[in-house]
Amino acid sequence: MRNLRLLIAYDGTDFHGWQRQPNAPTIQGLLEESIAKIVREPVTLQGSGRTDAGVHATGQVGNLLTSCRIPCRNLLKALNDALPPTVRIRRVDEVAEDFHARYSARSKTYRYRIYQRDVCPPFLCRFVNHHPEPLDSATMAQAASLLEGEHDFTSFAATEREEDQHSLRLGSNIRRIDRSRVLTHPRLHLIVYEVESSGFLRHMARNIVGTLLQVGCGKLSPQDAVRILGARDRSLAGPTAPAQGLCLMKVVYD
């Protein structure tokens, strides 16, 4: 059996997230169906993580086991010919049989883009959170930096009701954020939040952004981010930011 690693990009707007579902279009479901037709055997595609409905990726990673001997270069072309233009396979590589897209990952980086002009261009609206009201990006950056390090991120995790198959166990919400920063691109009218972590809880990145937006609006201070983090209470953090602004940029492996 060969173990193949895929580097995947997608526009998540028209999909109900990564994980396959019986009655809804998903990235995993689409890819497994397309790959199975080409290699002529059923496959299971493991992903580095499950992006939510409407979330995008330019650096999602998946792996699958197959007995098919089609060369990686040919498989890459065949897959992109079969897939819709909103989903692209950027690379196909044969890797060691113990590689696993999720369990071998060391860190993931997400970016969240906030567009600040009064009118959002139609070719951007699927990929940004349009927020025309003024934001103080400097205070947002201060708050973001205070989240770096290892903490219990219960305040920024999905609630039990939102978790469905994700069980909340004691200590399971501890994560390490290696980089949490806010960047401004005045010429593009963008504020960008970039976060790198060894692992993310469900809705964690979007809940952090929702809180940073409240800091930027003056409803919270940067130090409130520390208070909210320590309280381990989801109700104290900001609302979950819209999905379309979030993109999985990169997954790092040894």
Catalytic residues: 52
**Which ranges of 12-87 does DSSP label H, i.e. alpha helix?**
27-39, 72-82
- Phi first, then psi, for residue 88 (nearest 5°) are -130, 140
Please give the full DSSP string across 180-214, using - where no structure is assigned: EEEEEEGGGTEEEEEEEES---TTHHHHHHHHHHH
Please give the full DSSP string across 96-147, using - where no structure is assigned: -TT--TTTTEEEEEEEEEEE-SSS--TTTTTTSEE--S---HHHHHHHHHTT
* For helices 72-82 and 27-39, angle between their N-to-C axes, nearest 10 degrees: 120
| 3-state secondary structure at position 32 | helix
Q: Are 195 and 109 in contact (CB under 8 A)?
A: yes
Strands 105-115 and 129-130: parallel
